[in-house]
Amino acid sequence: MKISIIGTGHVGLVSGVCLAEKGHQVICVDVDQDKVNQINQGTSPIYEKGLEDLLKKNLDSNLRATTEFYRAVIETDLSLIAVGTPFDGTEIDLSFVETVSRHIGKVLKDKDAYHVVVVKSTVVPGTTDEVVLPILEETSGKTAGIDFGVGMNPEFLREGEAVHDFMFPDRIVFGGMDQRTIDALEELYGVFDGADKLRTNNKTAEMIKYASNSLLATMISFSNEIANLCSAIGDIDVVDVMEGVHLDKRLSPILPDGERIFPGFTTFLEAGCGFGGSCFPKDVKALIAHGKRHDRPMRLLNEVMRINEEQPRKVLSILKNHFPRLEGLRVTVLGLAFKPGTDDMRGSPAIPIIKELLAQNALIKAYDPVAKSNAQGLFNDDNISFCKDLDDAVQNVHAILLITRWEEFKKIPELLRDLDQQPIVIDGRRMLDKRSVARYEGIGL
C-alpha cells in the first residue's frame, strides 16, 4: 500500500519505518527540512532502540522523507496524521491536527481517487468525527464516506521500546467511519498477523487510548497512596504489601504446573516517586478536561494527578526528616530521565525535586546514564554539577536520592561499601534491597 505519514515525531517516524519494513511504500512528511534531510541520510532524529538500523535498511526502497506535502498525499492511498497534540494547560491543543487536516483537504480537492485519512495522534473522543472530518469536507468540497474515508488508529508504543511494540503489537485498533475505511486499515495492518484486532467507530478508538493510559496511571497513583499510608502508620513496608497484592491469582495467574506468570501490568502496581513522560500526565489531564466539558467531573483521575504531583515531594520530606536545613547539604540525584531506557526528561519527577533542592540552596550532584545533556539544558545553576559516572556521583555526599529505575543503580550498595562516611540513600523507586546499604530510606517504608 502507498502511505503518507504526516509528522516525523516519535509516533510518525516509528510507524513510517516499521510500515516500510513490513513492505508498504511509505513517504514521511515534515515541515522541518533538517529533519527530512537527516532521515533521508539514514540518521534518526530521535533515539529509539533499533530505529536507525531499520531506517537505513528501508531508505530508497520503501521509505523516503519529504517536505512536499501535496505530492506525498496525492501519490498515496492513505495518510496517517501523526502530529503532536500538546496539553496547553486547559485542554489538548489541536492546532497541528487542524492545520494538517486543512492541507490534506486541499489536496483531496484535486484528487479523483478515493483516499483514506487516519488520525494516529492521541486526540480526545470526538476529534476525528467532529473536527477532522468537517475540515476535510470543507476544504476539499467533497463528501466523507463517498470520496474519502476517515479513520482513527491509536498507537500504544512505549518510549524506548517503540520499534519492538510496533513490530509485535498486542492489539491494533481500527476506528473507522464506515466499512470501507476499516477495510483500508485491515489492508494496512494485514501484514501483522497474530495481533488482536479490534474494529470500532472513531470515538471508541480515541477513548481506548485514553482509557488505557488512565488505567496505568491510576494503578501507579493507587500504589503510591497505599505507600504513603504505610509510611504514616509505621512498621509496614509497601514492597511487602504490594508483593502480597501481586500474588492474587487474578493478577499473577498460576499455571497448571504451579508456575506463576507475573504480567507486566503488576509493575505499575509498585510504589515510587510518581509517573512522568510525555503521555500519562498529558493524557490524564486531557481526559479530565474533556470530562469537564461534558459535565462529567473525572473525580478519580483528578486525584490520580494530585497524588502524582505530590509524590516527588515525598522524597524531599524524607530527606528533611534527616536534615531539616537543606542549605549547603550535599545531595546526589540519581536518575534524571522520566524512566529508564530513555533520555527524555519530560514530566520527570527529578525536575521538581531538583528545583526544590536548588531553591533551598542544597549542593547537587546529578547523574543519569543518558539524560545528562538534556538536564544540562534545563538547569543552569552553580549549585548543580553533572557527574560523568555513578562512582563519582556517590562520593562525598550527605544523601543520595534515587529517582529513576536504571539497572546500573543496583551497583550502589557495592559502591558505598568502602566509603568512610555513609550517605543516607532515599530510594524513590524501591529498587534496592533495604538491607543492602547502611542508611536506607524509601517511599512507603
Determine the Cα angle at 308 with ends 302 and 309, to 5°.
90
What does the alpha-carbon distance between residue 427 and residue 349 come to, in Å, rounded to a whole number? 13
Residues with Cβ < 8 Å from 73, sequence gap 6 or more? 4, 29, 79, 103, 104, 107, 108, 111, 115
**Closest approach of ligand UGA to the CB of residue 155, in Å:** 6
Q: Are 18 and 57 in contact (CB under 8 A)?
A: no
Q: Which residue is nearest to ligand UGA (CB)?
A: 267
Measured from the CB atom, is 105 or 428 closer to ligand UGA? 428
| Binding residues vs ligand UGA (CB under 6 A) | 155-159, 213, 216, 220, 267-268, 272, 275-277, 279-280, 338-339
C-alpha cell belonging to residue 1 = 500500500
Kindly state the DSSP code that residue 265 receives in the 8-state scheme: G
C-alpha cell belonging to residue 411 = 551497583
C-alpha cell belonging to residue 367 = 547523574
Measured from the CB atom, is 136 or 217 closer to ligand UGA? 217
What does the alpha-carbon distance between residue 285 and residue 339 come to, in Å, rounded to a whole number? 20
C-alpha cell belonging to residue 427 = 530510594
**Closest approach of ligand UGA to the CB of residue 266, in Å:** 8
Measured from the CB atom, is 62 or 348 closer to ligand UGA? 348
**Closest approach of ligand UGA to the CB of residue 159, in Å:** 3
What does the alpha-carbon distance between residue 415 and residue 405 come to, in Å, rounded to a whole number? 17
Question: In degrees rounded to 5, what are phi and psi of residue 75?
Answer: -85, -5
Supply the residues annotated as catalytic. Answer: 279
**Closest approach of ligand UGA to the CB of residue 272, in Å:** 6
**Closest approach of ligand UGA to the CB of residue 280, in Å:** 5
Task: Walk across the sheet containing 148-152 and list its strands.
Answer: 63-66, 25-29, 2-6, 78-81, 115-119, 148-152, 171-176, 196-200
Measured from the CB atom, is 268 or 379 closer to ligand UGA? 268
Measured from the CB atom, is 54 or 279 closer to ligand UGA? 279
